[in-house]
A and B are shown apart, each in its own frame.
Chain A
């Protein structure tokens, strides 16, 4: 009876509990993968920017431009807009952040269920630190996100995602590690944020509402589908504070060789985001996880 001094005590027990639910129910995994795969396969494969210019012929009366020139102009425009002529790879790179974001959002739900089903009542009577109750869920969400991101990356590659050709095998391996590090920070920050929002909630509907409220705007107010420079001026500030933007920049920078900011700066921003929200989550869980 001397374990209460260790602040990490019980953390793995709680993480393991969450992970069990997941690897023992592959259906959950498959369902959460559907959305990014739909984006990739349906949207990514159809919204083929290059084919807008190169598919078929344009006939402007009075002008006779050879197809070759049109193609060259198109390539140049794509390159200057997206940093690559391969829009599919541009989009696919953002999908790993997307899946991480979705997974993190749902972690808030699990604490609502724990409260409703009484599990939380039990946890609160054990000597486990309150912070561990939250961080166990955060850690679960991180590990889950990384596993799902891996699957998304594999599927994207199968569908034709092309990586930076100048990468050596070692460089590629290091890039993947870098991407995972960025995803870890993103998952940490977002799951801590959503869990904090759910600390006192017993109502899963309101939690769903919060998720849906933030889901679309954060997705579209980021560089996931288009570069920030294409956005109207009033949307740009949101994109610039949106952590998704920076993870996408890391992924594209490391895997595709196109980075708008600089990768170290991206990491700095993500680290601040992750640490700040984890700290807020831990502090508030001591205060608010218990009743009154």
Chain B
């Protein structure tokens, strides 16, 4: 019954009007794995989670979650998963305790056991002191932690976390990841998490899928993905026209993938610190003055740029655009 994989997406597709939010994606998540979905806002992360958790029906394709088909056996899927959606979903008019007990009731957990679990979970997410306060009095971090407790009340084998750390301060983010990690270690819970925080994906995920514009561009362990970038990334700034510099650099052996990204010249080289003097030399002979240089070991950001051709940070920076995109999607849903 368990099958080999916790999640298996087969040509999973979602279309909102003219927008292809998720475009025929295929991937597998093994049991006990922390699997990260990394991509900018509007890339299709949340839509994927909504389909996998049976909130939204796929337009095409399907997925097996816990061995059950999300289209044909949604009730079975719902019983075996826990979900922490991106938006707050607790009832503000009720207390934290009442929220937990309500969700427990919806999973058909007997009262006595529900009380035990609720006590335990509130302790885990450090909310015992606020259990009898109305949720509307909670801070953002407290609400997020309550959401996680609510997602765990049915002891799910597979837990879905949609941007669990969005908008939280660094300390709370670290705390939430430590809860997630504890779940994995102690209960062997499979965790599917979406994030746009590169460091988080790098640090906590066993494997990562990079998604952009509804397509999966790469899947692998953070280490494997970084290896693909190959060597160091060098970023140069030059006085004058960068085009000239690019032409010169393209003729140097060992340099690859030379291009201009947002006014900076970016290229890859196996050992950046050794190559730097040579590069200075060649450029100055060609009459190009280097104004700044940065040599970086590949980070997830480099990985992301490698596959998508743009930086995730910049994408995130243009919040306006992301919000506009969301509005479009929402309108299309109506």
Contact = CB atoms under 8 A, between A and B. Distances in A.
Interface of A: 1, 3-4, 6, 9-10, 12-14, 16-17, 20-21, 24-25, 117-119, 121-128, 200, 202, 290-292
Contact of B93 (A6, A16, A21, A125): A21
A19 to B, nearest CB: 11
Contact of A20 (B89, B94, B105, B333): B94
**List of 3 A-B pairs having minimum Cβ-Cβ separation, nearest first:** A13-B105, A3-B108, A122-B89
Given A122-B83, A122-B150, A127 B106 contact: yes
Nearest to A132: B106
B81 A13 contact: no
Nearest to A123: B106
Contacts of B57: 290-292
Which of B16, B105, B106 is the most central at the interface, judged by chain A CB atoms within 10 Å of its CB?
B106
Nearest to B76: A4
B78 interface: yes
Contact of A126 (B78, B91, B94): B78
A125 B98 CA distance: 18
A207 to B, nearest CB: 14
Which of B91, B98, B103 is the most central at the interface, judged by chain A CB atoms within 10 Å of its CB?
B91
B16 A117 contact: no
B105 A10 contact: yes
B110 to A, nearest CB: 10
Contacts of B259: none
Contacts, number: 92
A125 B56 contact: no
A127 B78 contact: yes
Contacts of A200: 334
A126 B55 contact: no
Nearest to B47: A291
Interface string B66-82: 00000000011011110
B88 interface: yes
B289 to A, nearest CB: 55
Given A17-B98, A291-B50, 7 more contacts: A3-B107, A17-B91, A20-B93, A121-B85, A123-B106, A125-B78, A292-B57
B101 to A, nearest CB: 8
Contact of A118 (B78, B88, B103, B333): B88
Contacts of B108: 3, 6, 9-10, 127
Contacts of A6: 108
B75 A127 contact: yes
